[in-house]
Amino acid sequence: MTISMYQASAPVFVKMLGNLKVILQKAAAHAQEKKIDESAFLAARLFPDMLPFTSQVHIATDFARGTCARLAGAEPPAIDNTEKSLADLIGRVDRSIDYVKSLKPEQIDGSEGREITRKVRGKDVTFTGQNYLLFFALPNFYFHMTMTYALLREGGVDVGKMDFIGGND
């Protein structure tokens, strides 16, 4: 049995974004319960030269929408980076899930050889659709998902591995 480009992309992003929503909800509950100002999470970094927490969420959601759009031969919908709360970030995740779910398998399937050009460190890099998904988009998406999880875990939010990977649904 083979796996299609749609199966390797859209459902993966939707599932992981759903897991991201859960950990953001846990962070909001934790902040409320412990009377922690949410801005402590929003600005969190593991090291001063690292992008802050909000940027990690922005980039993860941008990769989900952008990857699926580009595989479908479309321009990804932009979402301004204006979130000021965990609730705002949850809304961004919801909008990203809704967009990815709006794409149909026939829009993405067959995109293995589609040329996709992206700026990487200021230079245009052209990928095939398959290489873009497997060797650029998914690793970047998972990196920023992991950073989001790690920052919340470091901040004391009670999240674990199963929150990150979710159930077998």
What pLDDT is recorded for position 169?
A: 64
- Answer yes or no: are the C-beta atoms of 23 and 159 closer than 8 Å: yes
CATH number for the segment(s) 5-160: 1.20.120.450
**Would you state the pLDDT for residue 1?**
74
pLDDT tens, the chain, 169 aa long: 799 999 999 999 999 999 999 999 999 999 999 999 999 999 999 999 999 999 999 999 999 999 999 999 999 998 999 999 999 999 999 999 999 999 999 999 999 999 999 999 999 999 999 999 999 999 999 999 999 999 999 999 999 999 999 977 6
CA distance 77 to 66: 8
Which residue has 């990203």 as its token pair? 96
How far apart CA 84 and CA 63 sit, in angstroms, is: 20
How many other β-carbons are positioned within 10 Å of the β-carbon of residue 8?
A: 16
- In this prediction, residue 35 carries a pLDDT of 96
CA nearest neighbour of 130 among 108, 147, 113? 113
- Give the per-residue pLDDT at 110: 97
Per-domain residue ranges of the chain = 5-160
Please choose, from the candidates 131, 137, 136, the residue with its C-alpha nearest in 3D space to the C-alpha of residue 112: 131
3-state secondary structure of 109: coil
